[in-house]
Amino acid sequence: MQLRSRLARPLVVLALSATLAACGGVAPSGGPMNQITTDQIARLQRGMSAEDVRKLLGEPTQVDRMGRGRGDVWTYNYIDRAQATPHMQLFVWFDPTTGKLTRFESGFNQAMHPAGD
């Protein structure tokens, strides 16, 4: 009986982990799947610091260092629960000299939603 109890715990943990992973907590890229609202995107402003963006949106899914003085681009794979739109991407560009937000774009991520899904 004690052996069965000791085996049951790891199986429960494994089942819960699989369930949570299936709920969309991790993007296909392996990074976090953020839950961002259109209200949060509306609060993005040119000139914001990277720290301000991180506080508003959380950790990006991916950070690309563009090199040659072109700055960084942060990518957020996200689900907008308020609009019921899965598989979205938000790109946030930062100035290489000041580190401030220069522009951002959001749209449907075709790669995360293959035809027929």
Q: pLDDT of 11-70, one tens digit each?
A: 444 343 333 333 344 444 445 567 788 889 999 999 999 999 999 999 999 998 876 667
Query: DSSP per residue over 15-74, as a string?
Result: HHHHHHHHTT-B-TTSSB-EE--HHHHHT--TT-BHHHHHHHH-S-SEEEE--TT--EEE
Residues 6+ apart with CB under 8 A from 94: 50, 71, 72, 73, 74, 100, 101, 102
Q: Is the pTM of this model over 0.75?
A: no
Domains in the chain, start-ordered, CATH in brackets? 2-112 (3.30.1450.10)
Cβ-contact 75, 89 below 8 angstroms? yes
Q: How confident is the model at residue 106 (pLDDT cuts 50, 70, 90)?
A: confident
